Amino acid sequence: MTQTMRALVYEGPRLMNMRTIPVPEPAAGEVLVKIERVGICGSELSGYLGHNSLRKPPLVMGHEFAGDGRRDGERRVAL
């Protein structure tokens, strides 16, 4: 069974929704982190308003976060 998580997804200018999405599987060299807290900063606000062309929908918002390192694509890790 695929695990799911809740995410704030940017879907276009002035349009964001909470969605249930699959938990990503980390590839070799990547780390899966269980996010505990996330900040929304000025770049997310700019993207939400449609002023930032780097924000392409659909996009999970929030790049300033704190969490618990779970595992990478090959083994459990500690961060």
For the cut 80, the answer to whether the pLDDT of residue 74 exceeds it is no
Instruction: Identify whether 52 is part of a domain.
Output: yes
Q: Is residue 77 part of a domain?
A: no
Q: Which positions ≥6 away from 48 have C-beta within 8 Å?
A: 10, 13, 14, 16, 55, 61
* Per-residue pLDDT reduced to its tens digit, 31-61: 888 888 888 888 888 888 999 888 899 999 8
Structural domain containing residue 13:
4-72
Measured in degrees and rounded to the nearest 5, phi and psi for residue 46 equal -60, -45
For the residues 1-22, what does the mean pLDDT come to? 92
What is the rounded CA–CA span in Å between residue 77 and residue 79? 7
On whether residue 66 sits in a domain, the answer given is yes
**Confidence bin at 79 (pLDDT 50/70/90):** low
Dist. CA 30–CA 72, nearest whole Å: 5
Collapsing DSSP to helix, strand or coil, 52 comes out as coil
Banded pLDDT at 78 (limits 50, 70, 90):
low
**42: in domain:** yes
Confidence (pLDDT) at 43: 86
Query: How many domains is the chain partitioned into structurally?
Result: 1
